[in-house]
Structure 1
Amino acid sequence: MTFNQQQLKQFTDESCVRLLAARPDIDSFDAPFKHVVIDNFFPQALADECLNRFPAITEPCWESANDADIEIKYRTNWKSEFDIPEGIVDAVRILNSAPFLKAMSQVMGIQKIVPDPYFTGGGLNVTMRGGLLDVHVDGNYHDASGLNRRLNALVYLNPDWQEDWGGELGIYDSEGEQCLKKVAPLFNRLVVFESHDKSFHGLPDPVNFPEGVPRRSVLLYYYTKDSRPSDQIVVNNPHSALWKKRNLLDKHGNRERNHD
């Protein structure tokens, strides 16, 4: 299905209305770090198109992470918007559009947000049965622009999800010790959360989706020129994802990384 510009603008307006209607302590939460959870985010026709166009795991667009203790998953290797499948690119356009950025800025309380045209680490994510993602905080710096990562946005694409499938997003305390909340990866559910050195999250328990059924999501990152507030900073210099099981070091055993 092809959507024209007028339809996409309407879809964007409707999605922004849903985000801006987030209710405190129902859809929008301050603890343990700011996050919002919005159901039925995209209009149904666009959500269905994203699911229909989602590439099979056998297609060449995927790269795998297979670190048995911390990360077993697949993500797309997009380098620009021209790598994005038809249909899904419409959803990404909405999530990176000026109206959505303004709405997200208002709801999350972070000004001057910009998207990532390089899709560094962003794109589509898949976790198959037995896959996992250890508790961690994300990297803080964008090499291509020198900007500071501030927000993550996910849209889940898992129809018919059942609780015994697992795969919920775990939201943890500021030390990454205790899971305070689990967010089910329901179809067409938007989750936006702050990304900083205390926003621990993950799905450390191997997912139990039926054999051959992927846990699907769209994942995008957002940045600002301004640095994070000081109370969100533990590591001052650029760093990659820091993993709880690795003593808050990255995959290479480092606390900081080269960013030349």
Structure 2
Amino acid sequence: MNRDQIADLIYQKIKQNKDYLKKQFDASSNEIGFLYIDDLLPKELALKIYQKFPNKKDTVKRDSLRELKYTAFQMDKYDSILEEVIYAFQDNRIVNLLSDVCKIPNIYADEKLYAGGLSLMEKGNFLNPHLDNSHDKDRNRWRVLNLLYYVSPDWQLDFGGNLEVWPKGLKHDPLKIESRFNRLVVMATHSNSWHSVNKVNTDKTRCCISNYYFSDEPILNSDTFHVTTFRGRPKEKIKDFILQMDNKLRQSLRFLFKKGIRENPHQYKK
């Protein structure tokens, strides 16, 4: 299937559930703002997407105190179905529909997949609590929505590797959103939208397709520019201190160099 055909399916599924999704997002919008919808695509198509995910040797490993995972974003290196489904989420009908559902006007998809694309997480992988970078690659638009589509069959909550959102901040327990097969999660991104992925504890691989939407205006009037900002979990006191120092250093460098010392390689160069 091509991206237009896949977009048709996604659009119809979201449209059919529009009222329910609006209620979901509205119920959490005072803190972070998120929604999820299951069985997004026909099961056979979702399985095919999963089966075409690249081997981790063909991805970029990200290994630090902040995170441990594998990413892929140079989409012409992989099976064409993966590029088609990623760009299906950028169809104007879907962008505009989610703009309406989430009550965020004038949003745009990101053709360059800045920080988007594919991610794979195996046993022991994790993503510490963090705020996404506030802007797009050129710091012209604000990042406002994070779309996460999970395609690992038979995923269960006790496998770990689940999305965590921290609506009450990092001193309180997070809400876990299972990385369930064929589930789409849409989450607002702003200066309060702390989120993470808990450690994978199964031999299976968690596979996710991600897109970001941007806007000319931030969601919160109080939002200011920030780099991707990581913190330790509540019991990780030493790690939290180190990560806060790392955040301050990287933030200072971005004030001196608007686009960073070097170009961020995490983008699709066609």
After TM superposition, the score normalised by the length of structure 1 is 0.84
Code of the residue aligned with 2:61 in structure 1: it is S
Q: Secondary structure of 2:174's match?
A: strand
Residue 199 of structure 2 is matched in structure 1 by 206
Picking from 178, 182, 185, the partner of 2:176 is 182
1:229: Cα distance to partner? 2.2
Residue 37 of structure 1 is matched in structure 2 by 36
Picking from 222, 225, 228, the partner of 2:213 is 222
Picking from 95, 115, 126, the partner of 2:120 is 126
Stretches of structure 1 that go unaligned for 5 or more consecutive residues are: none
Q: Secondary structure of 2:192's match?
A: coil
Are 1:240 and 2:238 matched, yes or no?
no
CA shift digits 1:82-140 (9 cap, x unpaired):
45531122222221001110111011111111111111110001111011111111101
Residue 111 of structure 2 is matched in structure 1 by 117
1:34: Cα distance to partner? 0.7
Q: Within 2, Cα distance between the matches of 1:6 and 1:148?
A: 27
Cα pair 2:117 2:211 within 8 Å, conserved: yes
Does the C-alpha gap of structure 1 residues 175 and 17 become closer, same or farther in structure 2, counting only changes over 3 Å? same
Cα pair 1:242 1:249 within 8 Å, conserved: no
Q: Secondary structure of 1:160's match?
A: coil
Equivalences, count:
246
Code of the residue aligned with 2:70 in structure 1: it is Y
Are 1:13 and 2:11 matched, yes or no?
yes
Does the C-alpha gap of structure 1 residues 122 and 9 become closer, same or farther in structure 2, counting only changes over 3 Å? closer
Code of the residue aligned with 2:184 in structure 1: it is L
Q: Within 2, Cα distance between the matches of 1:194 and 1:123?
A: 18
Cα pair 1:28 1:37 within 8 Å, conserved: no
After TM superposition, the structure 1 stretch with the greater mean CA deviation from structure 2, 112-121 or 168-177, is: 168-177
1:54: Cα distance to partner? 1.1
Q: Secondary structure of 1:207's match?
A: coil
Residue 236 of structure 2 is matched in structure 1 by none
1:49: Cα distance to partner? 2.2
Residue 63 of structure 2 is matched in structure 1 by 66
Q: Secondary structure of 1:221's match?
A: strand
Q: Within 2, Cα distance between the matches of 1:209 and 1:16?
A: 31
CA shift digits 1:28-77 (9 cap, x unpaired):
64253110010011233331221121111122xx111111x320111113
1:15: Cα distance to partner? 3.0
Q: Within 2, Cα distance between the matches of 1:75 and 1:5?
A: 21
Q: Within 2, Cα distance between the matches of 1:13 and 1:143?
A: 27
1:16: Cα distance to partner? 3.0
Cα pair 2:68 2:127 within 8 Å, conserved: yes
CA shift digits 1:185-207 (9 cap, x unpaired):
0001000000111100002x421
